[in-house]
Amino acid sequence: MLPRRITVKRTRLEDTSIENGLSFSWSNATYDYDAADTILLVKNTSTTHNLHIDQIWCHGDTTTTVTVFWASGVTPAGTAVTGVNLNTTSSNTAEATAKGDDTGNSGGSNVWVGSIPADNATPVLISSGLILASGYSIGVDYATDGGEALVTIIGHYENT
């Protein structure tokens, strides 16, 4: 009897993390946000790789409408957020500028708009297919005023 072969399918996020060390997450520090704040904005600054957005997770202490958008020509301004490499054996750093409580944008093209419940980590964009070329940004806005906002954006880089 031949041994059974088990095949495991990995995601592009996993492949890129394992093979190249080019998968990252960005998470803002918790802060007291105002209505219409951009909680987190990530701008792809790589000139050789596109940034593929794999997941976005949101949390707030109040039920709110969330708008995920992309934009070009944005100069991010706010609290610096460092991308964390998902492969702890890699020393690669994210070629991105990321800001929490960003004030350097005026919105863009909406990718996803919906509501999240209070006090619940909610996936708002999973396996999105969104690809950011160099100079493009992804942002997450909350519509209501609240005391606690957290956003995590997970993505990986692939050659242009």
pLDDT of residue 160: 78
Sign of dihedral through CA atoms 67, 70, 74, 78? positive
Q: Using pLDDT thresholds of 50, 70 and 90, give the confidence band for residue 107.
A: confident
Q: Which domain holds residue 58?
A: 22-86+94-137+149-159
In the predicted model, is pLDDT for residue 106 greater than 90? no
> Are 22 and 156 within 8 A, CB to CB?
yes
d(CA 160, CA 147): 40
Q: Is residue 2 part of a domain?
A: no
pLDDT of residue 72: 96
Domain tally, the chain: 1
DSSP letters of 48-86? SEEEEEEEEEEEESS-EEEEEEEEES----SEE---EES
Q: Is residue 10 part of a domain?
A: no
Q: Using pLDDT thresholds of 50, 70 and 90, give the confidence band for residue 1.
A: low
